[in-house]
A and B are shown apart, each in its own frame.
Chain A
Amino acid sequence: MKKEKIDFDIYEDITENELDELWSMMDSYTVEYPDEEEIDNTINELRQYVPEKEKEEYFIDRFHYLLNKSMIEISFISKPFWIMSFILFIMGLITMYFNKYINPYLLAMVISPLPFTFGLIEIFKSRDKGMMEIEMSCKTSYGEVLLSKLTIIGFYNIVLNTIFSLIISSISNVDFLRLTLIWFAPFTFISGISLWLSMKIKSSYTMTIIVSIWIGMIGTLLNTPYELIERILWMNITIYIGISILGISMSFIQIRSFIRKNISHKGRGLFEVNY
């Protein structure tokens, strides 16, 4: 009891023993503190007094944070995903190289959405294994982990598709821009649908079903008269752009609703640095 010895000279009329006794009595005056929920209510009340972040700075911060987070998340994505996606494109290239009769646009269209669909299994595996609550209790929220993984897998898919298009356009003399649009439209559309189904059905079988449906659709398409395939592949570019916008919007809506459901404090910036 350091302080009372220092202060002792102040208390002229009290003996040292009396003072010791008094201090020990004062120790019994404990405080019953509010629980975490009540403290959080106060914090939520205070949020309105925090100055608004400047929009530009806010978006730059968010972007940087997402990039950093994605770099960390790369190591948590399983190797079979990277290898399987890569092999899929290599097989596509080999098929294209040895079979000159295959339509390169059709091949790009078939392959393009598959890595992202496989990737969704990777993204939702913690939820399907019941690990979501644990991830949510960690320093980084589950919403952040999900977005980081989506960014990596989406980016990886786009890179693979672009390389694939570049190689195909160089070996089969096709229009690169058209080829890009042809794979981009189903890629965004199927990604949007896959994401929507993943949010609705909490099972890893969802992706197996989507892949089966997609392959079934392609199979049906291949059995239709060739003129119909040609028509689909040579549709007006604006239709492909429209499908792409629709797919991107679907993905965006799903991600937004997921974040709203899974981030407890609406006022708190999603990518704000946690202390």
Chain B
Amino acid sequence: MPTDEELIEEIHRGSQAAMEVLVKKYYKNIFSYIYRKVGDYHISYDLTQEVFIKMMKSIDRYESTGKFKNWLLKIAVNHCNDYYKSKSYKNKSKETQLEDRIGDNPDKVWDLLKKKIERNLVKKAIMSLPDYQRDVLILRYYHDMKLKDIADITSSKEATVKSRLRQGIGKLNNLLGGEDIEERKNRL
């Protein structure tokens, strides 16, 4: 299997196959980050595509440091931040608030399996975190990244990353802690 740097070299030389391999290698990684960040499948799909378009447009500027994954994740983090500042997010956000109120019917929720409820609770809890805390948490927990790399990707200091992680986990523990699922649900 060629390295990321070799694939990029091939892309520079016009290889479609190398692009295909590189995208397939990181697609799920980028999609999972975006999905956990925005919480919507269709928006995540579109944003993932846009991230890869940005990757292709700026691939000339990638310096072969051996950390292509981090470079790509940085594009994804910045692109999601741009999305949250965009008008389309603000409009979508108003719609979602309305949908959430309708969807909060306890009878419907209890019809779901326990696992699904738990998944939704975690999703809701993560989505309730501020943007910067969510970023750090997703990258640390779901992408198993080092604090130093997270600091690099989010363009912040390592101490800041630590503090955001602590605050984020603290909030999640308050929201999701305890045995009673109904209680947790009410907290959210």
Contacts and interface: CB of A to CB of B under 8 A. Distances in A.
Nearest to A42: B49
A256 interface: no
Contacts, number: 122
A25 B176 contact: yes
B156 interface: no
A57 B122 CA distance: 53
Interface in A154-173: none
Chain A interface mostly helix, strand, loop or mixed? loop
A13 B142 CA distance: 22
A140 to B, nearest CB: 12
Contact of A18 (B48, B123, B177): B177
B50 to A, nearest CB: 10
Given A269-B16, A275-B2, A42 B57 contact: no
B19 A275 contact: no
Interface stretch (A33-41, A121-129, A190-198, A238-246): A33-41
Contacts of B36: 29, 31
B14 A18 contact: no
A275 B20 CA distance: 9
Most buried by A among B49, B118, B126, B169: B169
Contacts of B141: 3, 23, 26
B11 A25 contact: no
Most buried by B among A28, A51, A275: A275
Contacts of B71: none
Given A10-B166, A34-B31, A49 B123 contact: no
B177 A33 contact: no
A22 B176 contact: yes
Nearest to B163: A10
Contacts of B142: 26
A52 B14 CA distance: 5
B172 A30 contact: no
B170 A275 contact: no
B84 interface: no
Contact of B57 (A25, A49, A267): A49
Contact of A50 (B16, B32, B41, B48): B16
B52 A50 contact: no
Contacts of B23: 39, 42-43, 46
Most buried by B among A3, A29, A52: A29
B170 A11 contact: yes
B27 interface: yes
Nearest to B161: A10
B83 interface: no
Contacts of A269: 15-17
Given A3-B144, A34-B45, A43 B122 contact: no
Contact of B165 (A7, A34, A58): A7
B98 interface: no
Interface in B11-59: 11-21, 23-24, 27-28, 31-32, 35-36, 41, 45, 48-49, 52-53, 56-57
Given A13-B170, A25-B122, A49-B57, 4 more contacts: A19-B173, A42-B52, A46-B19, A58-B14
Interface of B: 1-2, 7, 11-21, 23-24, 27-28, 31-32, 35-36, 41, 45, 48-49, 52-53, 56-57, 115, 118-119, 121-123, 126, 140-142, 144, 162, 165-166, 169-170, 172-173, 176-177
22 contacts: A3-B141, A13-B173, A14-B169, A18-B177, A25-B176, A26-B122, A29-B123, A31-B31, A32-B41, A39-B23, A39-B27, A42-B48, A43-B23, A49-B53, A50-B11, A50-B16, A51-B13, A52-B14, A58-B14, A268-B16, A272-B17, A275-B18
